[in-house]
């Protein structure tokens, strides 16, 4: 006999809950930096050091090219 009772949704993990909160809460960074930070975090299987995130943002920020020490 088959029952048509709905299956309850899975309970989200604490990690998922933290990520959801971080993504939905307004961040204090530019609209360009936020997606770059999220892409860096999501592309890893482990936590991203702040230095790696900063490198990613600076590497994509064309406004920083003019201020690079190697350009001086």
Q: Let me know if residue 22 belongs to a domain.
A: no
Q: Let me know if residue 17 belongs to a domain.
A: no
Q: Let me know if residue 43 belongs to a domain.
A: yes
Q: Let me know if residue 42 belongs to a domain.
A: yes
Total domains in the fold of the chain: 1
Domain containing 34 equals 30-64
How far from 47 is each of 15, 22, 42, CA to CA, in Å? 12, 14, 9
Q: Let me know if residue 6 belongs to a domain.
A: no
Specify the pLDDT at position 71.
Answer: 46
Q: Let me know if residue 10 belongs to a domain.
A: no
What pTM value is reported for the model? 0.43
* Segment-wise mean pLDDT, segments of 10 residues, the chain, 72 residues: 76 88 76 78 80 80 57 46
């Amino acid at each position: 006999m088959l029952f048509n009772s709905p299956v309850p949704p899975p309970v989200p993990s604490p990690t998922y809950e933290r990520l959801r909160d971080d993504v939905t809460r307004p961040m204090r960074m530019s609209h360009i930096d936020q997606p770059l930070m999220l892409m860096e975090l999501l592309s890893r299987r482990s936590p991203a050091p702040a230095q790696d995130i900063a490198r990613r943002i600076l590497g994509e920020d064309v406004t920083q090219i003019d201020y690079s020490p190697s350009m001086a």
